[in-house]
Structure 1
Amino acid sequence: MEQKIWLSSPHMGGKEQQYIQEAFEANWIAPLGPNVTGFEDDLQQYLKDNVEVAALSSGTAALHLALILLGVQAGDEVICQSMTFSASANPIRYQGAIPVFVDSEPDTWNICPIALENAIVDRIRKGNKPKAIIAVHLYGMPFKVDEVLTIANKYEIPLVEDAAEALGSTYKEKACGTFGTFGVLSFNGNKIITTSGGGALVNASKEQKEKAVFLATQARDTAAHYQHSEIGYNYRMSNICAGIGRGQMEVLDAHIALRREMNAFYHKLLSNVKGVTIFAEPNEEFYSNHWLTAIVLDEKVLGKTAKALRLALEAKNIESRPLWKPMHLQPVFEEYPYYGEKVAENLFNSGLCLPSGSNLRDEDRTRIAEVISHFFNT
């Protein structure tokens, strides 16, 4: 069996061990230290727009803290994009709140502004004005920011921007993660850059960041003894993980360029295959990091399915993955409200994510191309 080609594996840049070694030499083996501060500074400079960043243990932790800082409590309703990873929705339930799921639109596969406003109007009519909106930049593709923000502002509902997959993506040249009241980043092992496991909360002010860090470090009051007036969490990033992140920040733009090259590779490979649509930016206002390149197969045209392509790749030890199964179709969330049509459901049924890592080699691309070409030509 040939070596496995992964969907999206970690890609080190070379300086990570230097930052980790410095942490060991200084004995900064804790959820604070110069690497944490340095990583936060690096992210703030990269995102620009005068944001403040709190480095945390995961993107899920960042989303949870965002909801807490927005005052979301048990019984409140929070609107969430349905087509996403479950980590976008789980923190709503952590708070005992009620998720209200919204369909996608076909241009960016992200939250549909029309369905979003319909959901808000209906929830208000029923006496349950949502406390927050969670919109996701799926696979690195910016959602329709202007439309979504206009609706959020119209109804005075704060926007939480799930940019876990979108570090380096922009809308109208402004960084994803900086549009909402809060932004969320992820540095899981399969993301554009990794800290092995980790995330960050993007805040509009220093006061918000300080509150987030306070809650992330067990909400310890200022006192010589351990005193707590609020419930806190063990959500801070370690200095070791942050050291990996500092090394990764030095190669972030290079990794984005390589991901976009993989997307261009698939465009060239599949350009003449009728019935295959490659996920792409709607226009020049959208700039995707193309964290994952995804395609949709029209079974009526091709006589072939996304599942069949996935199995063909799997037979050659090449990993691919179905698109995210919408949250409103998940057993754990099926009882909650849903607004929209079947855009997300249809995408899930006909879509596939292809190997997109920044560390894929020419020989990997050759293997991938051989399998895909054989699949569509037989």
Structure 2
Amino acid sequence: MNPPSTHLAQPIVPAPGTPARGDDAPGPRIGLSDPDLGPLEESYLLRAFRSGWPGPAGPETEALEAEIAARVGVRHAVAVSSGTAALHLALLALGAGPGRVVVVPTLTFAATANAVVYTGARPVFVDCDPATGNIDPALLADLLGRLARDGAAPAAVLAVDINGTCADYARLLPVCAAAGVPLVEDAAQALGATSGGAAAGSFGRCAILSFSWNKIITTSAGGMVLSDDAALAARCRHLSTQAREPVPHYEHRDIGYNYRLSNLLAALGRAQLVRLPNMIDRRRALRGRYEALFAAVAGTRILGAGDPGANCWLTSLVVEPERTGWDAAQLGRHLAGQRIDTRPMWKPMHRQPVFVGCEAVLSGAADRLFANAVSLPSGSVLTDGDVDRVTTAVARFLDGR
């Protein structure tokens, strides 16, 4: 049975002609990516609660850091209160600040760009590869060359692993190395994914994870900085603890932040990490169902399809309305009428009112994905009955057109 939603759902507007009651009445809400929690999580939380160490930080936090570092294959991990906090700390540790720029994919959640602004640096947006939604390496190379000629080398390049598909690090890392610019992997959506045999979270100078309520694993709220760079990790940890100096009294030489992850929430994350392989298997199976459903529908494709290393955090359908005769928004409205959650792709950062006037290198790919893609229910908590209900609703939509 699905847990109750922990977010504010969009109002559900029935599609024209949707029955209000009877045998075809919509069933319980089906979420996009609801948390997958059970008895194991309860037992870990209860153990941490009884330990008398509710937080902040603590033995469960330290254990979660060690376990994720080992799973990803990096030397250091710093658990913090959110993925956004992790981005903020990573950028500060790399020298982002006033007078500097940071390169950011335009197709991402606002947190990626917001963290740049927190440091006082200026975001410069880059468009995406239309096949995956990840940052376009060719556009990035051109931009870094131009910035170098202008004497404006970025403090960092951020690469986001959209929907749990790793960005093209085989191309991105050499581009950044040639320009002398550190790469930060925003793997908020990608824990458990791989690329070229390496784990998401292991690429670049450092990486970040998110453990928000709807991510592949959750600590309710939380995040992590990952790196092989001991000094960078130590700097992030220092700043995350209000930058308190190691003396008996309270002394501060830097402005710090209260970004520590609580011991109780870390315990929840440790239980989720145990179950991670099965949760990824489930999401991959769901993507397989969608791929089969749309295989014969001309003018549709699954974003990032064909990547065996993707964790399939979300499955997004890309629609070519000139070929299908219908668009992604119509499908989303139809499913909303059946109490099935969907979501458009991220509205590009260069289209956000708060970032109007920021520099952007564009190909139009992100704008097209925003206009023509819809994310479908993808959570590992979905039952076979839930998935049958979604696919039946989609099939009825297709039959009607």
Q: Same-fold call, TM > 0.5?
A: yes
From 173, 179, 184, the equivalent of 2:197 is: 173
Matched, 1:363 2:388: no
For each residue in 1:78-121, what CA deviation from the matched residue of structure 2 results, as whole angstroms up to 9, or x when unmatched?
Answer: 00011000111101100111100000012321110111011112
Counterpart of 2:333, as a letter, is L
Matches within 5 A, 1:205-244: 205-244=229-268
2:395 counterpart letter in structure 1? S
- TM-score, scaled to structure 2: 0.91
The ranges of structure 1 where at least 4 consecutive aligned residues each deviate by more than 4 angstroms after the TM superposition are none
C-alpha displacement of 1:329: 0.8
Corresponding letter in the other structure for 1:37: E
Name which of structure 1's ranges 207-216 and 197-206 shifts more when overlaid on structure 2.
Answer: 207-216
| Contact 1:130–1:157 (Cα < 8 Å) also in 2 | yes
Residue 107 of structure 1 is matched in structure 2 by: 131
How many angstroms does 1:364 deviate by?
0.8
Once the 2 structures are TM-superposed, how far is the Cα of residue 125 of structure 1 from its aligned partner? 2.7
Q: Check whether the contact 1:297–1:350 (CA below 8 A) recurs between aligned residues.
A: yes
**Residue of structure 1 in register with 2:4 after alignment:** none
Trace 1:24-173 onto structure 2 (pairs within 5 A): 24-48=49-73, 50-173=74-197
**Equivalent residue of 2:108, what SS?**
coil
SS at match of 1:273: coil
**SS at 2:285's partner residue?**
helix
Let me know the Cα RMSD of the aligned residues: 1.2
Distance 1:66 1:171 in 2: 22
* 1:296 corresponds to which of 301, 306, 318: 318
**Cα distance in 2 between the residues matched to 1:316 and 1:308:** 13
Contact 2:33–2:378 (CA under 8 A) maintained in structure 1: yes
- Any conservation in 1 of the 2:148–2:179 contact (CA below 8 Å)? no
Structure 2 residue matching 1:149: 3-state secondary structure: helix
**Distance in 1, Cα, partners of 2:34 & 2:168:** 28
Size of the aligned set, in residue pairs, is: 375
Rounded to whole Å, the distance in 2 between the matches of 1:36 and 1:310 is: 39
Measured against aligned partners, the alpha-carbon deviations of 1:285-337 in whole angstroms (never above 9, x if no partner) come to x6100000011111001110100000000000000000011111111112111
CA–CA separation in structure 2 for the residues paired with 1:252 and 1:292: 15
Distance 1:280 1:13 in 2: 30
Q: CA deviation at 1:281?
A: 4.1
Match of 2:212 in 1: 188
Q: Give the TM-score normalised by the residue count of structure 1.
A: 0.97
Per-residue deviation at 1:13? 4.2
Q: Secondary structure at the match of 2:60?
A: helix
* Contact 2:205/2:229 (8 A) holds in 1: no
Q: State the Cα distance separating 1:282 from its structure 2 match.
A: 5.0
CA contact (8 A) 1:141 1:281 kept: no
271, 278, 289: which one pairs with 1:247? 271
Most deviating of 357-366 and 125-134? 125-134
Q: SS at 2:215's partner residue?
A: coil
Shift in Å, 1:61: 0.4
Aligned partner of 2:45 among 4, 7, 20 = 20
Which one is further off, 65-74 or 124-133?
124-133
- Structure 2, unaligned stretches of length 5 or more? 1-25
Shift of 1:209: 2.3
AA in 1 matched with 2:55: A
Q: Provide the C-alpha distance between the structure 1 equivalents of 2:131 and 2:302, rounded to a whole number of angstroms.
A: 11
Q: Structure 1, residues 35-56: CA drift from partner, whole Å, max 9, x if none?
A: 10111111012112x4311111
Whether contact under 8 Å (1:185, 1:201) holds in the other structure is yes
| Cα distance between partner residues in 1 of 2:115 and 2:101 | 12
More divergent stretch after superposition (100-109 vs 62-71): 100-109
Contact 1:13 1:251 in 2 (8 A): no
Q: Is 2:133–2:304's contact at 8 Å kept on the other side of the alignment?
A: no
Among candidates 295, 311, 327, match of residue 305 of structure 1: 327
